[in-house]
């Protein structure tokens, strides 16, 4: 681990003499359209995630392929801010805004109904438009590591 792949070598970009950076103005998550971000130095790399550091202000940002290879990567402001290891990042918190936005796109609106989630032992209400509660919907769509599920929410232990 900690191995930086060839493409991630930090290269000072001469073509782009940016006056300062836009970290302060960036939203908490956004699809990566500007691939200069992907040339920032990677400080930690995992399978579908890369923690990259802004060369101007030193802030770290998490680049994530949220649905694995299906969609373009997104850039998230890590929580806690300034994390330098992917394992120190609170993934449910860091990815929350992204997950909620995606779910809202699908359901129109995130609204709880007075019926419980279809998962056994789950006491949360299901959302309108689905038979799952918000946490189980996140777990289904994005993976359990992004949901705030406790061990009691399901018999099985959490994966990854």
Residue choice 64, 76, 117, 146 for contact with Zn ion (CB under 5 A): 117
Paired sense of beta strands 66-69 and 112-116, if any: unpaired
Binding letters toward Zn ion, positions 66-105, x by CB under 5 A: ----------------------------------------
- Spatial neighbors of 3 by CB under 8 A, at least 6 apart, are 45
Nearest distance from C-beta of residue 6 to Zn ion, angstroms: 24
Phi, psi at residue 69, to the nearest 5°? -80, 0
Candidate list 122, 138, 139, 146; residue touching Zn ion; CB under 5 A: 122
For the residues of 37-80, what is the DSSP string, one character each?
Answer: GGGSEEEEEETTEEEEE-TTT--EEEEE-EEEETS--EEE--SS
Site string for Zn ion, 12-51 (x = CB under 5 A): ---------x-x----------------------------
CB of 153 closer than 8 Å to CB of 137: no
Among 11, 27, 56, 104, binds Zn ion (CB under 5 A): 56
133 binds Zn ion (CB under 5 A): yes
Q: List, in sequence order, the alpha helices (H) in the chain.
A: 91-107, 134-142
CA angle 131, 134, 139 (to 5 degrees): 90
Which lies closer to Zn ion via its Cβ, residue 58 or residue 108? 58
**Segment near Zn ion (CB under 5 A), from 37-45, 76-84, 106-114, 131-139?**
131-139
CB atoms < 10 A from the CB of 37, how many? 17
Nearer to Zn ion, 90 or 112 (CB): 112
Binding site for Zn ion (CB under 5 A): 21, 23, 54, 56-57, 59, 117, 119, 122, 124, 133, 136
């Amino acid at each position: 681990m900690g191995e930086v792949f060839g493409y991630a070598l930090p290269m000072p970009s001469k073509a782009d003499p940016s006056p300062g950076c836009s970290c302060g103005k960036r939203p908490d998550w956004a699809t990566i359209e500007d691939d200069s971000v992907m040339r920032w130095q990677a400080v930690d790399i995992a399978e579908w995630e890369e923690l990259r550091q802004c060369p101007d202000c030193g802030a770290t940002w998490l680049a994530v392929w949220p649905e694995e290879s299906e969609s373009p990567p997104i850039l998230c402001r890590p929580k806690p801010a300034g994390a330098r290891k992917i394992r120190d990042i609170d993934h449910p918190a860091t990815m929350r805004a992204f997950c909620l936005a995606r779910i809202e796109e699908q359901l129109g609106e995130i609204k709880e109904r007075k019926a419980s989630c279809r998962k056994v032992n789950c006491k949360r209400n299901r959302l309108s438009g689905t038979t799952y509660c918000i946490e189980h919907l996140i777990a289904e769509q994005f993976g359990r590591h992004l949901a705030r599920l406790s061990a009691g929410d399901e018999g099985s232990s959490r994966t990854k």
